Amino acid sequence: MTFLSALRRVAIASSATAALAGSIVSPAMAADRELLNSSYDIARELFATLNPEFVDWWQQNHGESVEIKQSHGGSSKQARAIMQGLKADVVTYNQVTDVDVLAEAGLVAEDWQQQYPNNASPYYSTTAFLVREGNPKGIDSWDDLVADDVEIVFPNPKTSGNGRYTYLAAWGYADRAFDGDEDKIRDFMKQFLGNVKVFDTGGRGATTTFVERGIGDVLITFESEVNNIRNEYGKDDYEVVVPPVSILAEFPVAVVEEYAERNGTSELAHGYLDYLYTEEAQRLLAGFNYRVNDENVQAEFAEQFPATELLRVEDVFGGWDEVMDTHFSSGGVLDQLQRR
């Protein structure tokens, strides 16, 4: 008897909590509809700025008040959560492969890369270097990174998309420098990987190691991150070096059709992605140190983004499936290069 009454009390308490939680989720000034954007880890500040602008934009154009919710995390983890049932309406990731996984699962349209301009990547970035004040080791390009006395910090390609881009950029450079001679490329890569001092699991971890711990001569990460670090930790202590050749890092977006339809948000979700391509949004994105395709905005920010040749993964490596298979799978080229 006492057990049953205790149970009942628990039941009452939990339903009360649920009611309370429900009221938090849908605030008094209820938005007509809401949208869940599943995004990568370091995009918090970006979407915190973009979303209110979109809400205004949607209100003006469609006379409907909407609410955008964000979920952030490592983008592979995020994709996994959606496959396991998280009902996100749109995804804005930093790795093409993570959207591909969703497409394979039938949650995202198969031709998602054709649905929006530039391979469904409203903004892009590349891999750049952050060196210490005065660039004491004279690092200007990839071949300066294989010198014996240079210590490198970048995130682990095995656990971080950011790290994978760095690996691919170095490979792409070597591929060109040695005219595709695979033995020489591998030697170069071995030296390059051998100079790595610490392999953090993610981009922010690598930043901490380089900036806070003072480890390494050069940090390799997204250009957008490099610039943010310089702004955050002092313009005088660090210098940004954009190598003459680097890799194109796309930031793919897609509507999770399966869930958006069920949530009744399909056209809102597509509208959200359309918005990312407007001049207004592109200007905001450029403000966060991402490169954009809008010509007006490009001209405005020309000084901030030095011209550099960007290699496409599809051109150099034949696509992401190919890259993941040959380079990053277990026993792949990366494993071979790191073997003792």
The residues that touch other proteins, with contacts defined as CB under 8 A, are: 3, 74, 76, 80, 101, 156, 158-159, 196-201, 205, 208-209, 212-215, 324, 328-331, 335, 338-340
Strands (E), the chain: 33-40, 66-73, 90-92, 123-132, 152-153, 196-198, 218-222, 238-241, 245-250, 253-255, 291-292, 309-311
DSSP category for residue 234: -
CB of 156 to other proteins, least distance (A): 6
CB of 214 to other proteins, least distance (A): 4
Q: Measured from the CB atom, is 149 or 340 closer to other proteins?
A: 340
Inter-residue contact 95 to 222 (CB < 8 Å) = no
Tell me the β-bridge partners of 218: 131, 152
Q: Measured from the CB atom, is 148 or 212 closer to other proteins?
A: 212
CB of 73 to other proteins, least distance (A): 12
Q: Measured from the CB atom, is 133 or 315 closer to other proteins?
A: 133
Q: Measured from the CB atom, is 21 or 340 closer to other proteins?
A: 340
Inter-residue contact 273 to 253 (CB < 8 Å) = yes
CB of 137 to other proteins, least distance (A): 17
- State how far the Cα of 98 lies from the Cα of 79, in Å rounded to an integer: 6
CB of 115 to other proteins, least distance (A): 24
Give φ, ψ of 273 to 5 degrees. -70, -35
CB of 296 to other proteins, least distance (A): 39
Inter-residue contact 75 to 40 (CB < 8 Å) = yes
Tell me the β-bridge partners of 191: none
CB of 256 to other proteins, least distance (A): 17
Q: Measured from the CB atom, is 6 or 302 closer to other proteins?
A: 6
For the record, the structure tokens of 330 come out as: 């277990």
Q: Measured from the CB atom, is 205 or 319 closer to other proteins?
A: 205
Inter-residue contact 121 to 250 (CB < 8 Å) = yes
- State how far the Cα of 60 lies from the Cα of 243, in Å rounded to an integer: 42
Q: Measured from the CB atom, is 245 or 324 closer to other proteins?
A: 324
